[in-house]
Amino acid sequence: MPDKPDKRSRNDHNALSVFTDLCHETREALGAMQQLVRFPAGQAITREGEEINFVGIVASGILRMQKTLTDGRHPIVGLLVEGDIFGQVFDGATEVAIEAATDTEVYAFPRGRFETLMRRSPELDRAVLLNILNELDRTRDWMVILSNAKIVNRVAGFLLIMCTRFVGVEHLVQARRDGIEVNIPMSRLDQAHLLGTRPESISRALHALAEAGDIIINTPNRILILDTGALAERVGEEDLCSITNLKNLLANKELLS
Amino acid sequence: MPDKPDKRSRNDHNALSVFTDLCHETREALGAMQQLVRFPAGQAITREGEEINFVGIVASGILRMQKTLTDGRHPIVGLLVEGDIFGQVFDGATEVAIEAATDTEVYAFPRGRFETLMRRSPELDRAVLLNILNELDRTRDWMVILSNAKIVNRVAGFLLIMCTRFVGVEHLVQARRDGIEVNIPMSRLDQAHLLGTRPESISRALHALAEAGDIIINTPNRILILDTGALAERVGEEDLCSITNLKNLLANKELLS
DNA sequence: TTGCTCAATTGATCGAAATCAATGAGGTTC
DNA sequence: GAACCTCATTGATTTCGATCAATTGAGCAA
C-alpha cells in the first residue's frame, strides 16, 4: 500500500489531533506503545459482545458500528473516522460490532497500558472523555435525522453530516467552485442501514434532491452539494454538526482545492 | 408536596446509587454541597445552548432531552430518570433542551465544586464516565428502534425500553400475575416525538399490539405487557437494554408486587 | 348537573415508502 | 473480448403512515 504512514504530520483537526494537547511525556508514552494495524474493507474488527484487548484510534478510513438483529438486519449506529477513539474503555457495556467500511488504518494501544496511562495523565483521561461526549452528540444527531418522516430529509441530513464529519479528511470532502463535493464511502445498502430504510429509497431520494437542484450526482458516491442551506432546511436543524463550519469551508475554498 | 425527600435510603440500583461505590469522604463532600430542587411537569430546566451552573442528578420523576427544529418540531433525544446525571460536565458541546416530563426532584451540585471534586476523586470521575457511557448506549438503542420502518415495532421497542429503564422506580413498573404493568409518564404527543411519528399512529400501534394479544391497555398510560418475547421479536433486538433483566423481574414478582 | 377543555381515539383520504421485479452500468475474471 | 457479478437505478404495485376531520372520554369549574 502506497499510503504514507506518517499522516500524523497534518494534524489540523483530525488524525491524532486528539492528543496534541497532551504533554510531551504522555505523547512519548503513547507513541512507544502504538502499533499501526490495517483492515481491508469489509473486515470485522469486533463482533457484538466480544472483548478486544486494545484501544484503537482511526488513522485513516472509515469504520462502521452496527448492531445485529434477529431478523438479519444490521442497523448502523455510528461511524468512526480519522481521529476517533474506540475500544473497551469507552465501549463499556455497549455491544456493537465494528467493521471496516473502507480500507482502514488503526493505531492500536494495548488496553492495560493505555488505561494505566489514563490514570497517570488527567489530560489523556479528559481527551477520552471529550471523545465520548462527541460520540454522544453525534448519536443524538443521528436520532434527530432518523426521527424525520420523509426519507429525502433524512438523506439531506445524512449528506450534511458526511460533510461536517469528513471535513479535512483527504479525498472525502473537497471544496469546488460551485459547492462541496463529498465522497460517500459506502454502498447504498449501508446508507439505508444507517437511515432506517432501503437502498431503493436512498437512490430515489438522492435523485429527488438532484431534481430539486440541491445537489449533483457526479458518480453514485461522489455528490456535489450545491446548496447546504436548502439541505439544512430540510432537516430542520440549523446547527447540525455545526454546519457553520461548512460555510467557513466554502468561504475558504483555497484551503482544500 | 408530600413526597419523602429521603429517597436515598432505597438505593437498590437507582436514586443516588451511582455514588454508592464512592469512598466515605467523597460522599460526605457531595452531601454537603447538594441541594434538592423541584420542577413541576412541563417546566424547562435548560434551553438549547444555555449554560447551566450546576450538575444535576435526578432524584425522582422523568426529564426529557429534546432538540428544537426550525419547523417547530421537538424530537426527543433521550429521557433522564432517577439516578441519571446531567449538566455541563457531560453535556459538553451538546446543545439539548431539558424539560420536566413529570413533576421532578433533582439534586443539584454547584458546577465548579463538583468538577473540583471530580479532579480529586478518580472514583467520582469514573462514575460520571460510566453514566455517560450508559447514556451513549441508550441513545444507540433509540437509534435501533428508530431505524425500524414499522411504527408498531418502534412502539414495541419503546415499551420494552420503558420497562427496563423504569425497573425499580416506584409506581412506574410493577409486576403482575399476568405480566408487567408499565406507567408511561408522557402524552401520546411526546411518545410520537420520541419515536419520530404522530400521536394518532402511536394510538393505533398500541391498539394493534393489544389486538395481537401482546399487551392490554388498562388506561391510556398504564400498559400491561403480556408477552415481552413477542415485543422483543418485533424489535429484532434480543438484548435491548438487557431484557433478560425483565425476565428476572418476572421470575421474582414478589420483589415488586 | 352542565358545560368546558384537553387528550385519546377512530374514521377516511392521500401521499410516500416498502416491496417485488427488471434493467442498466462498471468492474473483474478467464 | 466475453461472460459474469455486484451495485445502482427505474418501474409497478401494495402497504403503511401522515393528514384532515370528527367523536369520544376524562377531568374540572362553575
Looking up residue B62, the CATH number of its domain turns out to be 2.60.120.10
**Mutation target vs A (from B144, B150, B193; most A CBs, 10 A cutoff):** B144
Taking the C-alpha atoms of residue B75 and residue A34, their distance in angstroms, rounded to an integer, is 41
**Residue B152 belongs to some domain of the structure:** yes
- The DSSP letter of residue A220 is T
Provide the residue type at A17 as one letter.
Answer: S
**Residue B242 belongs to some domain of the structure:** yes
Taking the C-alpha atoms of residue B212 and residue B195, their distance in angstroms, rounded to an integer, is 21
**How far does the CA of A188 sit from the C1' of D4, in Å?**
22
Do A187 and A236 reside in the same domain of the chain?
A: yes
Structural domain total, chain A: 2
Do B181 and B61 reside in the same domain of the chain?
A: no
Cβ partners under 8 Å of residue A140, min gap 6: B65, B67, B77, B78, B94, B96, B139
Q: B158 and B237 in contact (C-beta within 8 Å)?
A: no
Lowest mean pLDDT among A162-171, B104-113, B126-135: A162-171
**Residue A194 belongs to some domain of the structure:** yes
**Mutation target vs A (from B13, B71, B77, B134; most A CBs, 10 A cutoff):** B77
Check whether B195 has a pLDDT greater than 90. yes
Taking the C-alpha atoms of residue A139 and residue A79, their distance in angstroms, rounded to an integer, is 9
**Residue B55 belongs to some domain of the structure:** yes
**Mutation target vs A (from B50, B64, B67; most A CBs, 10 A cutoff):** B67
Residue B161, pLDDT score: 93
| DSSP β-bridge partners for residue B174 | B181
Taking the C-alpha atoms of residue B29 and residue B117, their distance in angstroms, rounded to an integer, is 8
A108-127 residue pLDDT tens: 999 889 988 988 888 888 88
Mean residue pLDDT across chain A: 83
Cell numbers given for A125? 483521561
Confirm whether any atom of chain C, the nucleic acid strand, is less than 7 Å from CB of B133: no
**In the structure, what pLDDT confidence band is assigned to residue A28 with cuts at 50, 70 and 90?**
confident
Average pLDDT value for residue range A159-179: 85
Q: B159 and B182 in contact (C-beta within 8 Å)?
A: yes
Q: A173 and A163 in contact (C-beta within 8 Å)?
A: yes
Q: A59 and A102 in contact (C-beta within 8 Å)?
A: no
- The vertex-A202 CA angle with B156 and A148, nearest 5°, equals 45
Do A208 and A114 reside in the same domain of the chain?
A: no
Q: Quick one: how far is CA B89 from the chain centroid?
A: 19
Do B119 and B186 reside in the same domain of the chain?
A: no
**How far does the CA of A44 sit from the C1' of D10, in Å?**
33
Which of A70, A132, A147 has the CB atom closest to B133's CB atom?
A132
Average pLDDT value for residue range A138-157: 95
Do A77 and A26 reside in the same domain of the chain?
A: yes
Contacts of A90 in chain B (CB under 8 A): 133, 136
Which of B129, B132, B146 has the CB atom closest to A147's CB atom?
B146
| Region for residue A239 given its phi and psi (left: phi exceeds 0; alpha: psi -120 to 50; beta: otherwise) | alpha
Taking the C-alpha atoms of residue B141 and residue B147, their distance in angstroms, rounded to an integer, is 10
Q: Which residue among B137, B172, B187 closes a domain?
A: B137
Residue A8, pLDDT score: 30
Q: A156 and A191 in contact (C-beta within 8 Å)?
A: no
B206-229 residue pLDDT tens: 999 999 999 999 999 999 999 988
Do A169 and A77 reside in the same domain of the chain?
A: no
Which of B70, B96, B236 has the CB atom closest to A71's CB atom?
B236
Q: Quick one: how far is CA B183 from the chain centroid?
A: 12
Do B227 and B159 reside in the same domain of the chain?
A: yes
Do A21 and A110 reside in the same domain of the chain?
A: yes
Residue A66, pLDDT score: 93
- Tell me how many residue pairs between chain A and chain B have CB atoms under 8 A apart: 119
Average pLDDT value for residue range A84-94: 73
Cell numbers given for B249? 423481574
- The DSSP letter of residue B203 is H
List the single residue in A with minimal CA-CA distance to B195. A147
Strand ordering across the sheet containing A97-100:
A44-46, A97-100, A63-66, A76-80
Gyration radius of chain A over CA positions: 18
Could you tell me the end-to-end alpha-carbon distance of chain A, in angstroms, rounded to an integer?
A: 25
Which of A73, A75, A233 has the CB atom closest to B143's CB atom?
A75
Check whether B256 has a pLDDT greater than 80. no
Cross-chain residue pair A67–B237, CB shorter than 8 Å: yes
Q: Which of residues 188-217 of B touch strand D (CB under 7 A)?
A: 196-198, 200-201
Average pLDDT value for residue range B94-103: 88
Residue B76, pLDDT score: 94
Mean residue pLDDT across chain B: 83
Grid look-up 432538540 returns B67
Nucleotide nearest B149, from its CA to each C1' = C18
A64-86 residue pLDDT tens: 999 999 888 899 999 999 889 99
Q: Which residue among B85, B110, B137 closes a domain?
A: B137
**Residue B114 belongs to some domain of the structure:** yes
A32-54 residue pLDDT tens: 899 999 999 889 998 887 778 88
Average pLDDT value for residue range B253-257: 44
Lowest mean pLDDT among A76-80, A140-144, A230-234, B122-126: B122-126
Average pLDDT value for residue range B66-88: 90
Residue A50, pLDDT score: 79
Check whether A188 has a pLDDT greater than 80. yes
**Residue B70 belongs to some domain of the structure:** yes
**Residue A140 belongs to some domain of the structure:** no
Cell numbers given for B102? 413529570
Taking the C-alpha atoms of residue A200 and residue A217, their distance in angstroms, rounded to an integer, is 16
What whole-number percentage of chain B has pLDDT above 90? 47
Confirm whether any atom of chain C, the nucleic acid strand, is less than 7 Å from CB of A73: no
Do B123 and B184 reside in the same domain of the chain?
A: no
Check whether A186 has a pLDDT greater than 90. yes
Q: B89 and B55 in contact (C-beta within 8 Å)?
A: yes
The backbone torsions φ and ψ at residue B85, rounded to the nearest 5 degrees and listed phi first, read -100, 140
B126-165 residue pLDDT tens: 888 888 888 998 999 999 999 999 999 999 999 999 988 8
Instruction: Write out which nucleotides of chain C lie closer than 7 A to a protein Cβ.
Output: 7-12, 16-21
Q: Which residue among B110, B137, B164 closes a domain?
A: B137
Do B20 and B120 reside in the same domain of the chain?
A: yes
**In the structure, what pLDDT confidence band is assigned to residue A244 with cuts at 50, 70 and 90?**
low
Residue B255, pLDDT score: 43
**In the structure, what pLDDT confidence band is assigned to residue A247 with cuts at 50, 70 and 90?**
low
Instruction: Write out which nucleotides of chain D lie closer than 7 A to a protein Cβ.
Output: 7-11, 16-21
Looking up residue A213, the CATH number of its domain turns out to be 1.10.10.10
Do B117 and B156 reside in the same domain of the chain?
A: no
Residue B199, pLDDT score: 96
CB atoms within 10 A of CB B249: 21
Average pLDDT value for residue range B79-90: 85
Q: Whole domain around residue B191: which residue ranges? A: 148-255
What three-state secondary structure class fits B154? helix
- The DSSP letter of residue B23 is -
**Residue A135 belongs to some domain of the structure:** no
Confirm whether any atom of chain C, the nucleic acid strand, is less than 7 Å from CB of B187: yes
What three-state secondary structure class fits A150? coil
What three-state secondary structure class fits A127? helix
Nucleotide nearest B199, from its CA to each C1' = C8
Residue B244, pLDDT score: 56
**In the structure, what pLDDT confidence band is assigned to residue B16 with cuts at 50, 70 and 90?**
low
What three-state secondary structure class fits B226? coil
Residue B201, pLDDT score: 97
Do B123 and B169 reside in the same domain of the chain?
A: no
